């Protein structure tokens, strides 16, 4: 049991989120985005608030960064950096549209008391393409993040980074195709990875949970697992069943308004991993 009582998690996490006050689909930098389809910003805000409140109900701490007008994708906080052991590896976005988000997030970290920060040389979209496990970090390349950023992050964070190659444009960030499970395990959609990377995943995670294309296509892999609890897209029902079989408590969330931009629960969530005590 992870929870010790209502609203108390035994291993509370600290998340950074950005309310979708300026959310819109005005450009298309992934196949989910169609600027001719309107978004309902109030609905997006309502869905986002439910996600934030759920984290708090589960006993986690949520900090918020002020949204900036003209940055409609800033709600996807996962892309704002990678924080491990209290060290902040900053983001450098691949697209011109999102480039200002890199300094905006770094600025938040510096103002919030993070003293060890790195303004990166190499293109990387933060936790979107880096997934931190207990003993290593998985880094993806193929659509957004340069493989050179994996080495840069490895040097700066002092954690080994294993490079994986993404091949399906629908799963353009690692966190759309894979999420971390307890005990250095993962759940993933095999079709998102190159043959070589599949061999790596099979070798590293013989007990991984493999997701179907149907669940991947609702961004079911864009989930946040905090031990027993898994916060995930309500539509990914097969994956939810597999997780329950493994003893997890699944908390379904509806984020279809934000999915119009290609993001789900994990994309809205940047984990602030503290310095070791
Ligand atoms: N529209 C955003 C983009 O394409 C969505 C980002 C989703 N974030 C994520 N961590 N997968 O950049």
Average of pLDDT values for 60-88? 98
| Pocket residue to mutate for ligand 1, from 173, 233, 268, most atoms within 8 A of Cβ | 173
Domain assignment present for residue 209? The answer is yes
pLDDT band at 47 (very low <50, low <70, confident <90, very high): very high
Average of pLDDT values for 43-51? 98
126 Cβ inside 6 Å of ligand 1? no
- Entry pTM: 0.96
Q: Tell me what ipTM this predicted complex has.
A: 0.97
Domain assignment present for residue 258? The answer is yes
223 Cβ inside 6 Å of ligand 1? no
- Quote the number of domains for the chain: 1
31 in helix, strand or coil? coil
For residue 139, what are the β-bridge partners? 130, 163
32 Cβ inside 6 Å of ligand 1? no
Residue 232, domain extent: 14-271
d(CA 65, CA 113): 14
- 148 CA → ligand 1 middle, Å: 20
CATH number for the domain harbouring residue 70: 3.75.10.10
- What per-residue confidence (pLDDT) applies to 157? 98
Domain assignment present for residue 123? The answer is yes
Domain assignment present for residue 262? The answer is yes
**Alpha helix stretches (DSSP H) within the chain:** 41-57, 101-111, 147-157, 195-204, 213-216, 237-245, 256-259
Strand 137-141 with 130-132, pairing: antiparallel
Q: Which atom of ligand 1 sits closest to the CA of residue 129?
A: 10
Domain assignment present for residue 4? The answer is no
Sign (positive or negative) of CA dihedral 231, 232, 233, 235: negative
30 Cβ inside 6 Å of ligand 1? yes
254 counts as catalytic: no
Domain assignment present for residue 245? The answer is yes
Domain assignment present for residue 29? The answer is yes
128-141 pLDDT, tens digit per residue, is 999 999 999 999 99
User: Which of 173, 248, 251, 268 is the catalytic position?
Assistant: 173
pLDDT at 263 over 60: yes
Domain assignment present for residue 2? The answer is no
d(CA 239, CA 201): 18
Strand 249-253 with 229-233, pairing: parallel
268 counts as catalytic: no
Nearest protein Cα to ligand 1, atom 8: 267
- 37 CA → ligand 1 middle, Å: 17
pLDDT at 4 over 50: no
């Amino acid at each position: 049991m992870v929870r010790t009582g209502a609203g108390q998690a035994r291993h509370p996490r600290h998340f950074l989120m950005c309310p979708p006050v300026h959310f819109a689909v005005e450009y298309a930098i992934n196949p989910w985005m169609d600027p001719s389809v309107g978004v309902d910003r109030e609905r997006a805000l309502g869905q986002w608030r439910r996600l934030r409140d759920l984290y708090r109900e589960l006993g986690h701490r949520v900090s918020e960064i002020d949204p900036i007008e003209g940055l409609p994708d800033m709600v996807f906080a996962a892309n704002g950096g990678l924080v491990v052991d209290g060290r902040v590896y900053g983001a450098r976005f691949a697209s011109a549209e999102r480039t200002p988000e890199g300094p905006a997030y770094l600025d938040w970290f510096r103002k919030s008391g993070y003293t060890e920060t790195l303004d990166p040389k190499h293109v990387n979209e933060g936790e979107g393409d880096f997934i931190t496990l207990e003993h290593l970090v998985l880094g993806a390349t193929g659509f957004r993040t340069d493989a050179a950023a994996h080495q840069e992050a490895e040097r700066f964070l002092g954690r080994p980074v294993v490079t994986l190659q993404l091949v399906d444009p629908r799963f353009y960030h690692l966190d759309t195709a894979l999420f971390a499970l307890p005990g250095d395990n993962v759940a993933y959609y095999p079709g998102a990875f190159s043959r070589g990377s599949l061999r790596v995943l099979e070798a590293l995670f013989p007990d991984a949970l493999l997701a179907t294309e149907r669940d991947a296509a609702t961004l079911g892999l864009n989930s946040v697992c905090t031990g027993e609890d898994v916060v995930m897209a309500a539509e990914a029902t097969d994956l939810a069943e597999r997780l329950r079989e493994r003893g997890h408590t699944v908390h379904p969330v509806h984020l279809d308004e934000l999915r119009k931009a290609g993001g789900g629960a994990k994309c809205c969530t940047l984990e602030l991993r503290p310095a070791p005590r």
